[in-house]
Amino acid sequence: MTATIIDGKAFADGLGQKIAGTIPAFEEQTGRRPGLAVVLVGTDPASEIYVRSKGRMARKLGMVSFEHVLPETTTQDELLALVARLNADDRVDGILVQLPLPKGLDSLAVIEAIDPGKDVDGLHPISAGRLASGLPGLVSCTPLGCIMLLEATLGSLAGRDAIVVGRSILVGKPMAQLLLARDCTVTIAHSRTSDLPAKVARAEIVVAAVGAAEMIRGAWIKPGATVIDIGTSRVERDGHRKLVGDVEFDAAATRAGAITPVPGGVGPMTIMTLMHNAVLAAHRRAGLPDPVIFERED
């Protein structure tokens, strides 16, 4: 068996076209375009690249991008004051504060200060609570992208056995909630899970989100299972640095029915689901119906 490769880049490109297609009607009805504010504190090179790419994508799709780059010396009060101004700015529909923040700043306090209606990262406790309660809200970007890929690959997920390896508030927990909401039977595994290979081997859907290079071995994968690999790690291989996921890809691909590669799988979806959330937030703030951007094919 050779697994079908789930092409996250191609899917994200298609999603981007649909997002861009919602902008003209929104502008006609509101007199403005959706606005996304991205806040970067400090000069972390990776974060700088992410912020630039998010702003560039927002503009490409027809939105307005507000980029705030603050010095490393920014205080907690100064950052919270900026968030308060963005909350009050009617041009801004979505606010994303790039994490991690420099030492000395309280990330949780900053996240809690964001208006939940503008929380396009889906990290506010109210956003998490609405997800757990089955209420509409903004959902964390990476899990949202994963659920889209799963539904595009499998159609209905109802009744399937799924395992999420990883329990972070960023990915693992919201991923499990999204699967539960689609009537999967969900196991959440973590560093203290006993006999992890046996638990993975029972699952029809495996979502790997631990950040440990190739920790999930290919031999663990149930034949025909669908594997979503969220992890990214750089390893030395044949004298070169290589990007790998949490799953032993080559071995898993001989057993799985479908699998995301690293890179090119989940990664491209994360930025596009951020754009999806910004457009969704804009419509909700304007009192307009949710735009139809993604519909699974059963």
Known catalytic residues?
A: 54, 98, 121
CA distance 284 to 290: 7
Closest CA to 225 of 245, 209, 243, 208: 208
Give burial (CB, 10 Å; 0-12/13-18/19+) of 112: middle
